[in-house]
Amino acid sequence: MPEGDTIHRAVAKLRPALAGSRLVRFEAPRLVGPRPRPGETIDAVEAVGKHLLIRFSGGLTLETHMRMTGSWHLYRAGERWRKPVHLLRCLVEVEGWQAACFAAPVVRTFPTAATGTVDDPTAHLGPDLCIEHPDPDEVVATVVGRLAALDASTPVGEALLDQRVASGVGNVYKSEVCWHERVDPFAPLARVDEATRARLVRTAARLLRANLGPGRRRTVAEGLAVYGRRGSPCRRCGSAIRSDVRGELARVTYWCPTCQPPA
């Protein structure tokens, strides 16, 4: 599943081509909801956590969620697509550009006027940690408060993935953040004090925002600290990185058994 930084990168690529442009063609074979009409203006292209939103002047907002399979591509008019057409889930075409979304399982529209209400599919999300907030301490306090509302037996790594708590963290950053803060990702929240929770939130925000630009994702100078490195030496202590699949969603977690001992 793409992390929040991936969606923000996609927005940074799409926005200059789409925002302010007139819609020429819109296709979405599996769209849930009404369709924007050619001739409307694209008012905005936004990222909210792992959701990519395109707002149209006719009053609709297109929401896509990539889950494990989706991706947005931007092509010059007439350029050959890098994905087969049968994977197309949405096409937003403006003069000179085609923005194509492939294999996304969630493609739907909702009234822009419903933003922030129960009819907004992103309203339940916690603060987006990819965004540079004007008061970062307030954001940290909000997220820590939401963590406190979870079941105390919830593993801290699983809690970091809960988009209701804070949006943007995915499986990669879950593992990386816990390594940076020397926290056992399987420790229940009851064993993670408030100061440590705050450090985890700050580190998650810092790592996500550090990867909004182009280039390979890095959380340490060499690349990633633990994710995808099972059996390789820990970049801090040299111990062999371990991995395991746990939880209801059977997500893999990577950690260093020496730097992150059981709580």
Distance, CA of 210 to CA of 21 (rounded, Å) = 30
164 is catalytic: no
251 is catalytic: yes
Query: How many CA atoms lie less than 13 Å away from 145 in the CB half-sphere?
Result: 8
50 is catalytic: yes
Q: Select which of 9, 50, 197, 202 is catalytic.
A: 50
C-beta of residue 241 within 8 angstroms of C-beta of residue 231: yes
CA distances from 65 to 47, 62, 111, 161 (A): 10, 10, 17, 15
Residue with tokens 């009234």: 111
Q: Select which of 182, 236, 246, 251 is catalytic.
A: 251
Burial class (CB in 10 A: 0-12, 13-18, 19+), 4: buried
Distance, CA of 253 to CA of 263 (rounded, Å) = 16
C-beta of residue 225 within 8 angstroms of C-beta of residue 243: no
C-beta of residue 253 within 8 angstroms of C-beta of residue 246: yes
C-beta of residue 175 within 8 angstroms of C-beta of residue 185: yes
214 is catalytic: no
C-beta of residue 219 within 8 angstroms of C-beta of residue 228: no
Residue with tokens 């909000």: 142
Counts of helices then strands in the chain (DSSP H, E): 5, 10
Residues marked as catalytic: 2-3, 50, 251
